[in-house]
Amino acid sequence: MYGLPSTVAVNQLLPKTAFYQRLPLAASVKDEFVHGIEELRVIASVKEATCGIPASGGVEEISVLRIALKTDELPRKALDAIASAVPRVSCRGARRAACQRAMDCRRTNEY
């Protein structure tokens, strides 16, 4: 899976409702979760316990998420909400370049 060792595999569904029902989000952001994102899945957890890489620089774990989109339009506000709630993520999938760019640029607003 994406060149990662099998020991980091998680493959756990992450309900969208965990974000848009529990976080204080604007209606437009909730709408992006409902209409823009098909599925969120944690596919890997890279940390010392799973692959022997020790924590460093305050980073204890890197979560790799698979975000399946319903449309070709990037739900930027929803991705920002995900990145804020799960600050150490990496994107993989058909639109991973756009998704990764959105995550990388979320702090600088360089969409």
Q: Which of 24, 26, 36, 46 is nearest to 79 (CA)?
A: 36
Confidence of residue 52 (pLDDT cuts 50, 70, 90): confident
Long-range contacts of 18-24 (CB under 8 A, 24+ apart): 19/78, 19/81, 19/82, 19/85, 20/81, 23/81, 23/85
Q: Which of 85, 54, 53, 51 is nearest to 67 (CA)?
A: 85
The better pLDDT of the pair 34, 53 is held by: 34
CB 102 within 8 A of CB 37: no
Phi, psi values for residue 61, rounded to 5°: -155, 145
Q: What is the per-residue pLDDT for 105?
A: 39
Question: Rounded mean pLDDT of 67-78?
Answer: 89
Say which residue the tokens 């620089």 belong to: 57
Q: What is the per-residue pLDDT for 48?
A: 83
Confidence of residue 99 (pLDDT cuts 50, 70, 90): low
Question: Rounded mean pLDDT of 84-108?
Answer: 51
Q: How does the average pLDDT of the chain come out, rounded?
A: 77
Hey, which of 51-55, 68-72, 86-90, 100-104 has the most confident mean pLDDT?
Answer: 68-72
